[in-house]
């Protein structure tokens, strides 16, 4: 099994399939890997780019603490989170999450749990750029409700 950082914040585009393949290597005791890839949307032409800001050392530490909680809560073997920062074009991957566990239910639930946190509680600041100007994006009521179900 290759040793990769568990959490990466990057301004560079990434290939989710390559990340998933690398994450799966050497897992002879893992029975399930679940993954999620979030893509930037064009919002029917209203978004030409999404810009994500994070504080290095703070944002990644907050995500790591939550991910370690997920690891304990769901009995994960491992997890991998890659999140874009900076400017992201529609169609590009924003986030990749993979979880490895003995059984599928734990892997699925942990992946969902981590995405709910990243979407609504992780310390990122998001701005959408479009033909009508820029606007800051906040988590929606649905995002908050999704995250609250784990409390």
Residue 46, token pair as written in the block: 């209203």
Q: Is residue 48 part of a domain?
A: yes
Q: Is residue 135 part of a domain?
A: yes
pLDDT band with cut points at 50, 70 and 90 for residue 133: very high
Pairing between strand 78-84 and 125-130?
unpaired
Q: How many CB atoms lie within 10 A of CB 103?
A: 12
Within 8 A by CB and 6+ apart from 74, the residues are: 99, 101, 106, 107, 109, 110, 113
Q: Name the domain count of the chain.
A: 1
Pairing between strand 86-88 and 49-53?
antiparallel
Instruction: Determine the structural domain holding residue 113 and report its residue range.
Output: 7-148
32, 101 in Cβ contact below 8 A?
A: yes
Q: Is the model's pLDDT at 1 over the cut of 60?
A: no
Indicate the DSSP class of residue 83.
E
7, 63 in Cβ contact below 8 A?
A: yes
Indicate the DSSP class of residue 6.
S
Q: Is residue 55 part of a domain?
A: yes
Q: Report the CATH number at residue 11.
A: 3.90.1170.40
What three-state secondary structure class fits 5? coil
pLDDT score recorded for residue 46:
87
Q: Is residue 50 part of a domain?
A: yes
pLDDT band with cut points at 50, 70 and 90 for residue 2: very low
19, 80 in Cβ contact below 8 A?
A: yes
Q: What is the pLDDT of residues 59-106, one digit of tens each?
A: 999 999 999 999 999 999 999 999 999 999 999 999 999 999 999 999
Q: Is residue 1 part of a domain?
A: no
For 122-126, what is the mean pLDDT?
95
Q: What is the pLDDT of residues 8-65, one digit of tens each?
A: 999 999 999 999 999 999 999 999 999 999 999 998 988 999 999 999 899 999 999 9
Q: Is residue 89 part of a domain?
A: yes
Q: Is residue 2 part of a domain?
A: no
């Amino acid at each position: 099994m290759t040793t990769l950082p568990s959490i990466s914040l990057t301004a560079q585009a990434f290939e989710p399939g390559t990340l998933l393949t690398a994450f799966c290597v050497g897992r002879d005791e893992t029975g399930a890997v679940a993954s999620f890839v979030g893509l930037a949307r064009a919002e029917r032409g209203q978004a030409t780019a999404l810009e994500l800001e994070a504080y290095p050392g703070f944002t990644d530490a907050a995500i790591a603490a939550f991910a370690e909680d997920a690891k304990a809560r769901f009995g994960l073997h491992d997890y991998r989170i890659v999140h874009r920062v900076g400017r992201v074009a529609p169609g590009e991957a924003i986030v990749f999450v993979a979880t490895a566990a003995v059984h599928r239910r734990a892997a699925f639930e942990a992946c969902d749990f981590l995405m709910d946190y990243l979407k609504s509680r992780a310390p990122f600041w998001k701005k959408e750029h479009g033909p009508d100007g820029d606007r800051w994006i906040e988590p929606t009521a649905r995002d908050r409700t999704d995250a609250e179900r784990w409390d």
